Amino acid sequence: MPEFDPLAFHAEAVRTPSHENVGEMRALLVDTLRDHGVDPVVDESGNVRATRGRGSPHVVLNTHVDTVPPHVPFERDGDVVRGRGACDAKGPLAALVAAFLAAEPESGSVTLAVTPDEETESTGAAVLDLDADAYVVGEPTDLAACTSARGRFQFDVELSGVGSHAADPESGVNAVAGVEQTLAALRSFDAERGPSEHPELGPPTLTPTRVRGGDAANRIPDECTITVDRRTVPPETQEGFFEGVATHFREAVSESVGIDVVPVERDTPFLGAFETREDAPVVDALVDAGAGAPRPFGAATEASYFAADAPTVVFGPGVLADDEGPVAHAQREYVRQSDIERAAEILTDGLASMV
C-alpha cells in the first residue's frame, strides 16, 4: 500500500476545480482514501465519512472540499503553492487526511468527515450527527489552535410606504426617507440590546451593505430594502437576535412606515458564534503537539454547528490574510508546503495522545 504524500495530494487537489461543482474533488478524496485501505461512505448530503477504531473518545476531523469562485490555477514557487483552495481549505484537508491515515487508535476512534458546501449553505454539515467527544475543523489558522469565532447572520430590512407624485410628497409615505431612522437604530442596537463585548472576539458588528429603493426620479418611493450583515459573538443566538432587532427597528421608525426584518432564505441554520474552553482536552492535545496558543479564528465556520455538541478547535496551515492583504478567497491565495507538513505532524501527534 503506497504511503500517503500530503503535498502530492494537495497539489492535485488545488489543480481540481471545486468552485461550481465538487464532484471531481470529492472523487479525488474518495479514491485517495480507497487507495490507502479505507472505504469511505458518501451520504445523501454529499459528505465523505470514514472511521478508524471504535469507542470513546471519538474525535472528528472535519473540513470542506468546496471553494469560492473563481478558480485560480495551481502554481508553485519553491515552498509556496498558489491557487484557489490552496489554504481554504485544501491545505487543511491534506493535513487532516494525513493524520487520519496515520491514526492507530488504541481505545478510541477517529472519523474523517468532509463536507461539500461550507462556502454556501452548509447543507452537509447541518446533517452530520457523529456523537463526537471533540472536533478539529480544518481552516487556515497559521497553525494556531483557534477556540472561538464570530458567527454571521444576514437579513433584509424591508421598508414600505405609499407612492405618490414627488411634486406633492406629503400625499404619500416615503419609504426611502425611513432609511435615516433605520440606520440610526442600527447604530444604537448593540449598546441597547446586543451582547457584551467578548473577551477574545471583541464586540459584535451590525453593518448595512446594500440599499435598494425607488423606481422613478419623480415619484415618492413606496418600497426600500436595506441588506445588513451581522457578525455575532457568544452568547447571542439567531432566534434572540432577530426577535430583538425587529422590535428595536419597529420602535425607532415612524409608525407611518411599514417595516419587516427578513432573514436571508436558507435551508440550514446560520453559522453562529462559538467558543471552546482553552483547557479542553482537544485544545491541550494540539498545543502540546506544537500548535500555536489558543486564539480566535477570524471568519465564520461550520465549527459553530459542532461546538454545540463537543469541544471544537479550528486548526490548519495557511492564513486568512497577511501583511499585504487578503489571502483566503483572494486571487493571491497561497499556502506554504512546509506548513502543510507541520500541520499534519501536529494533528498526527495530537490524535495519538487522544485516541
- Ordered by where they begin, the domains of the chain are 6-149+273-354 (3.40.630.10), 151-263 (3.30.70.360)
12 contacts 100 by C-beta, under 8 angstroms: no
Q: Which residues of the chain have pLDDT under 50?
A: none
Residue type, 335: V
User: Which of 101, 118, 126, 109 shows the shortest CA–CA distance to 43?
Assistant: 126
Q: What is the pLDDT of residue 326?
A: 96
Q: Cis link prior to 70 (omega < 30° from 0)?
A: yes
Q: Over the range 1-19, which residues count as b (16 or more CB within 10 Å of their CB) and which as e?
A: eeebebbebbbbbbebbbb
Burial 275-310 (b: 16+ CB within 10 A, else e): bbebebebbbbbbebebeebbbbbbbbbbbbbbebb
Residue found by looking up cell 430583538 in the block: 244
pLDDT given for residue 323 in this prediction: 96
What would the pLDDT profile of 53-107 be if each residue is shown by its tens digit?
998 999 999 999 999 999 999 999 999 999 999 999 999 999 999 999 999 998 8
pTM to 2 decimal places: 0.89
Contact 203, 233 (CB under 8 A): yes
pLDDT value, residue 285: 98
Task: Record the cell numbers describing residue 157, joined without a space.
Answer: 430590512
Torsion of CA 321, 233, 187, 213, to 10 degrees: 70
Q: 506544537: which residue's cell?
A: 290
pLDDT of residue 2: 80
pLDDT computed for residue 169 by the predictor: 87
Q: How far apart are the first and last CA of the chain?
A: 24
